[in-house]
Homo-oligomer: A and B are copies of this chain.
């Protein structure tokens, strides 16, 4: 097996390009909007009863999600889908598991308008913001038309745009530092490509750029219908946005319903459901080592 592996590896490198791209060192954004967005992101004022903020689900010091299966919105209401990380969201082709939001601002709008999340009343949030002297001043300085629903979500989206995590060990490896990751992780990356994981998890976010069916080989036993919830087309049942694997070691539990607690379980599930194959423990361990190299640096603005 390993002879075959190294033979294929040779050719894979011979083709030159790698199917995963490093995250750029920096990204352009409007610092005034982003800092206003940061303040809003951390402020419970944007929930109807002042109990939760964006950070309730997206803890920036802990991978950009909250480590629980389903998050709690206002009044202790629990959602029914796992909160994805907010990091590197700008590089996803769509936001949320079913891809209903095209950009970060519209995702923020969706959360504020969700009765189970922030309370379904953006106009009330706007009225609260208008009574706040700090926000009134900042919005009026930055936006011609001051505090509006559009400007509110625009500033949060601008902050989230800034939340990129460059310089993961694997990105350093891609840039030429062959010692940036362990031999096990290198083997894991080759297996990741050989076994087919790469077909969905590629590009700058190692995912986040296509939809595919959850459960290609087996029924995924999912209570959520994925993209079908948006399109109402039969063929979109159980089709989800492929999640990014960036910072995946920090964002347990995994899958849209948080069914996997560890990376090992997640790889096992993917292997069975998507690749239709049993994977040996040694191979899974190597792939997990590779996945651990995808943890990047938290940007200054997130601290």
A300 interface hit (Cβ, 8 Å): no
Cβ of A278: which chain B residues have Cβ within 8 Å of it?
8, 11, 14
A107 interface hit (Cβ, 8 Å): no
Cβ of A203: which chain B residues have Cβ within 8 Å of it?
213, 235
Tell whether, in the assembled complex, residue A216 and residue B196 are in contact, meaning their CB atoms are under 8 Å apart: no
Residues of chain A from 170 to 228 with CB closer than 8 A to chain B in the complex: 193-196, 198-200, 202-203, 209-213, 216-219
- How many residues in A have their beta carbons less than 8 Å from beta carbons of B? 41
Kindly supply a per-residue 1/0 record for chain A positions 259-279, scoring 1 wherever the CB is within 8 Å of any chain B CB and 0 otherwise.
000000000000010111110
Cβ of A134: which chain B residues have Cβ within 8 Å of it?
none
Cβ of A235: which chain B residues have Cβ within 8 Å of it?
91, 93, 203, 209
Q: Which of A198, A211, A275, A276 has the largest count of B CB atoms less than 10 A from its CB?
A: A276
Which segment, of A15-23, A109-117, A119-127, faces chain B?
A15-23
A12 interface hit (Cβ, 8 Å): yes
Query: A245 to nearest B CB, angstroms?
Result: 15
Q: A93-B236, A196-B196 are in contact. Are A213 and B202 (CB under 8 A)?
A: yes
Give the oligomeric copy count: 2
Q: A195-B196, A199-B212, A210-B210 are in contact. Are A217 and B17 (CB under 8 A)?
A: yes
Residues of chain A from 236 to 273 with CB closer than 8 A to chain B in the complex: 236, 239, 272
Cα distance, A219 to B203, chains bound together (Å): 13
Residues of chain A from 119 to 141 with CB closer than 8 A to chain B in the complex: none
Q: A15-B272, A203-B213, A210-B212 are in contact. List 14 more A-B contacts (CB 8 A).
A: A1-B4, A12-B217, A15-B276, A16-B218, A17-B217, A93-B236, A193-B275, A193-B276, A194-B277, A196-B199, A199-B200, A209-B213, A209-B235, A210-B213
